[in-house]
Structure 1
Amino acid sequence: RDTLANKLEGFGSGADDYLVKPFAMPELEARLQALARRGRGELTTALLMVADLTFDPKTLRVERGGQRIDLAPIPLRILSILMRHSPAVVRREDLEREIWADNPPDSDALRAHIHALRSAIDRGAEISLLHTVRGIGYQLAGPDER
């Protein structure tokens, strides 16, 4: 089970990792900790920036134009996802899956959270950063990135 063909078959079947026996317990623990970090969304800890909007994943601090913005937990998660993928369009289904896993709420819940996020980050700003891409999803992008 340690041949390249076995490993490729495992990855091809959807495995995220492949550990060959015998293995050292510290290696298993390190791999499990890495998977747990990924599951909690701790991949990105660097300051995220889109135009004059900043988000610090470590402190959960959001600012636009130097002004602090307080967000509820779900709009904050949406912002984090959109900023990590900016300027790409994030499909509605992908957002719902990342936020609610396999238990998405009713169809208006995401729209309501997007509205709250848009109101918070674009209120009073000359340039809107949060854009709806009709029939597809949402995009967080500055004017030169659209």
Structure 2
Amino acid sequence: MRPLIQIVEDDEALEALLAYNLEKEGYKISVANDGEEALLQISEKTPDLIILDWMLPKIAGIEVCRRLRARTETKNIPIIILTARADETDKIRGLDTGADDYLTKPFSITELKARIRAVLRRIRPALVDEIVKYHDLEIDRVTHRVKRGGAEIHLGPTEFRLLNHLIQHPGRVFSREQLLDAVWGSDVYVEARTVDVHVGRLRKAINIPGCTDLIRTVRASGYSLDANN
């Protein structure tokens, strides 16, 4: 599952440079050119990390950061602020508003990529680690092997992708539509009921005898991976 990075930058040349290099690095990219558009896009599809310019039309980047941190559904998204402001007071203000990192223009793409990896590894390790663990469940994203309590579990390709997505966001509830988009892709037509079928298969596979049911069904909302089920 490729992490989604939201780029918020009004300089079209820099935006294109960022998008090109990060796509080459294996990330999915979404682009917004002003603060208002960024908030709309983020509310429609939650990214895994945001690269946010400070000086933006309509709504300044620092205000976008503040609003995202005030919302329950976006308060934990990693944010890297880009800015031409080099003063220490501006850097402190950006970090105090909720940014996870701060990069002063001009900067090297190599440094930005390193900072993205560092932030994801620190805040969202499930996006960068090859082996991810949650409770007594372990998933190896390279070999596609899954273990529960040390016992190997065999999953079909779709169930593996479903688990891989859920384990990146433990405790978060995803609607059927969100899971369809994340696991099957937005360009493929699949009925929402298909999600129920594959969640049922995944639940049956990972909930071996004597173990807690890790998949929580939230009526009229969706599903989550939650050990406190």
Q: Decide: shared fold, TM above 0.5.
A: yes
* 1:67-82 mapped onto 2 (5 Å cutoff): 67-82=151-166
Where does structure 1 differ by over 6 angstroms across 4 or more consecutive aligned residues?
Answer: none
1:16 maps to which residue? 7
Secondary structure class of the residue paired with 1:106: coil
Mapped partners of 1:45, 1:70: distance in 2: 23
Letter in 1 for 2:177: E
Q: Equivalent residue of 1:16, what SS?
A: strand
Distance 2:187 2:152 in 1: 33
Deviations 1:38-59 (A, max 9, x none): 24xxx82312222100112222
Conserved in 2, the CA contact under 8 Å of 1:87 and 1:139?
yes
Q: In the alignment, what sits opposite 2:139? A: 55
Report how far residue 65 of structure 1 moved. 0.3
Q: Give yes or no for contact 2:161–2:183 (8 Å, CA) kept in 1.
A: yes
For residues 126 and 58 of structure 1, the distance between their equivalents in structure 2, rounded to whole angstroms, comes to 25
How many angstroms does 1:28 deviate by?
7.2
What is the CA RMSD across the aligned residues, in angstroms? Answer: 2.7
Structure 2: how far apart are the matches of 1:59 and 1:126?
Answer: 24
2:214, 2:160 → 1: CA distance?
Answer: 15
Residue pair 1:55, 1:61 contacting (<8 A) in 2 also:
yes
Identity of aligned residues (%): 29
Asked whether 1:112 is paired with 2:103, we answer: no
- Identify the match of residue 125 of structure 1 among 210, 223, 226: 210
1:135 positional shift: 0.7
2:153 and 2:206 in contact (8 A); partners too: yes
TM-score, normalised relative to structure 2: 0.47
Q: Among residues 19, 42, 45, which one is paired with 2:128 in the alignment? A: 45
Q: Are 2:146 and 2:153, in contact at CA under 8 Å, matched by a contact in 1? A: yes
Instruction: Report if the CA contact (8 A) 2:138-2:148 is conserved.
Output: yes
- Aligned-pair CA distance for 1:92: 1.6
Partner of 1:96: 180
User: Partner of 2:27: helix, strand, or coil?
Assistant: helix
Q: Distance in 2 between matches of 1:95 and 1:28?
A: 25
Partner of 1:8: none
* Whole-angstrom distance in 1 between the partners of 2:19 and 2:204: 45
Aligned residues: 124
Q: Confirm or deny that 1:86 pairs with 2:156.
A: no
Matched, 1:32 2:23: yes
**Gap runs ≥5 in structure 1:** 1-14
Of the two structures, which has the highest relative contact order with CA contacts closer than 8 Å and spacing of 6 or more?
A: 1
Q: What is the Cα deviation at residue 123 of structure 1?
A: 2.7
Classify 1:20/1:108 alpha carbon distance in 2 versus 1 (closer, same or farther; 3 Å). closer
Deviations 1:54-85 (A, max 9, x none): 11222222100001111111111110111001
